[in-house]
Amino acid sequence: MQIHHTIESLRAARARAGKVALVPTMGNLHEGHITLMRQAGEKADCVIASIFVNRLQFGAGEDFDRYPRTFAADCEKLQAAGVAHLFAPDEAEMYPQPQRYHVDPAPAQVSILEGEFRPGHFRGVATVVLKLLNIVQPDIALFGKKDYQQLMVLSNMVREMALPVEVLPGETVRADDGLALSSRNGYLSADERARAPLLYRLLCRIRDAVRAGDHDLLKLETDAMDELVAAGWAPDYIAVRRRADLQPPVHMDDPLVVLAAARLGRTRLIDNLEI
Ligand SMILES: Nc1ncnc2c1ncn2[C@@H]1O[C@H](COP(=O)(O)OP(=O)(O)OP(=O)(O)O)[C@@H](O)[C@H]1O
Ligand SMILES: CC(C)(CO)[C@@H](O)C(=O)[O-]
Ligand code: BAL
C-alpha cells in the first residue's frame, strides 16, 4: 500500500489507476471500516482509503482532541484488506488556511436528529467530503449506514451537485452482542461496554413492534427513552422516521428506520435499524 500525505502525490497515483473506489474515514479502524474496504474492492480496480480527523465537523466541547489516532495499526489493517492507496493528509494540507467556502445542507436535512444535537456537524462533514471527492475523483464512494443521516446528507449532496461519483452504502457491522462497531466504543469502560448493547436491543424492540403492527410511535419512543434513563443513560433521541428524508412518517407503509443517540458516561453512541 502506498501512503500519500499530499494532494499532489495522491493525484499522481489516482491518474495511473483505473476504476477507483474511495472509503473516507477518520481512522482508528475496525471491522466496520474494513468491511467497507472489501466491498469497495469488489466494485472497483483500485481502493483508496482516506484517514483525516476533520476538525470542521467537531463542535466546541466535542472529542476532537481525544479522538483516537492509531495510524500504524490502521495502515496494517488497510494493507491486509488489499487497499492500494491511503490518503492521509495533515491539517495544513487539507486546510492550508481557514476554510472560507463550505457546503451548507438545507436546515430540513440537518436541524433534525444528529444535526439538532451537533449543530454545524454536517456542514463540516459535507465540506470535507466534497473536498476529498475533488481531490481523489473516485468513481465510487462508500459510506456506512451506521451514520445513517450522514449517508443521506452526502447522497443528496452528490445528487444535487451532480458530482460524477456513485455513492454506495455499507451495512452496519456489529459485535456479537449487537453493539454497532464504532471508534468511540473505545472510550467505554468495561462496565459501560457490558451495558452498551441495550441501545441496540431497544432499537430491535421498536423495529419488531412496528413490524407487528404497533403504530403508536410516540409511546414506543418514549418507553425506550425512559428505559435508557432508568439504566443510567442520557438519551438525545430515539425516533422512527422515513428512510427517504428522515422526517416523521405519514404512512406506516413508507420504508422506515429507527434511529437513536444516547450518552453512556462520557461516550455518545449512535445506532439505527431499518424496519
Ligand atoms: N459499524 C460500522 N459498520 C459499517 N460502517 C461503519 C461502521 N462504523 C463506521 N462505519 C463507516 O465508516 C466510515 C468512517 O467512519 P468513522 O471513521 O467515523 O468511524 P466510526 O467508527 O463511525 O467512528 P465514530 O465512533 O467517530 O463515529 C463511515 O462511512 C462510517 O459510516
Ligand atoms: C465521512 C467522514 C470521513 C468525513 O470526515 C466522517 O464523517 C466519518 O468518518 O464518518
Ligand atoms: N462517524 C461520523 C463522524 C463523527 O461522528 O464525527
CATH code given to domain 2-170: 3.40.50.620
Q: Which residue's alpha carbon is at the smallest distance from atom 7 of ligand 2?
A: 125
Mean pLDDT of the chain: 97
pLDDT in tens, 57-103: 999 999 999 999 999 999 999 999 999 999 999 999 999 999 999 99
Can you read off the three cell numbers belonging to residue 243? Answer: 428512510
Element (H, E) at 160: helix 148-160
Which pLDDT score is estimated for 8? 98
User: Taking the chain, what is the end-to-end CA distance rounded to the nearest angstrom?
Assistant: 39
> Quick check: helix, strand or coil at residue 90?
coil
For ligand 3, residues with CB inside 6 Å are 57, 147, 150
Q: State the amino acid at position 27 in one-letter form.
A: G
Q: Which of 25, 28, 176 to mutate to test the pocket of ligand 1 (most atoms within 8 A of CB)?
A: 25
Which pLDDT score is estimated for 50? 99
Q: State the amino acid at position 123 in one-letter form.
A: R
- The interface pTM score, or ipTM, of the predicted complex is 0.97
Which pLDDT score is estimated for 153? 98
Q: Which atom of ligand 1 sits closest to the CA of residue 146?
A: 31
pLDDT in tens, 99-132: 999 999 999 999 999 999 999 999 999 999 999 9
Domain 183-270 has CATH 3.30.1300.10: yes
CA 184 / ligand 1 centre spacing (Å): 9
Q: Do domains 2-170 and 183-270 have the same CATH topology?
A: no
Per the model's pLDDT, the better-predicted residue between 201 and 252 turns out to be 201
**Domain locations in the chain?**
2-170, 183-270
Write b or e for each residue in 85-101: b if 16 or more Cβ atoms lie within 10 A of its Cβ, otherwise e: bbbbbeeebbbeeeeee
Which pLDDT score is estimated for 52? 98
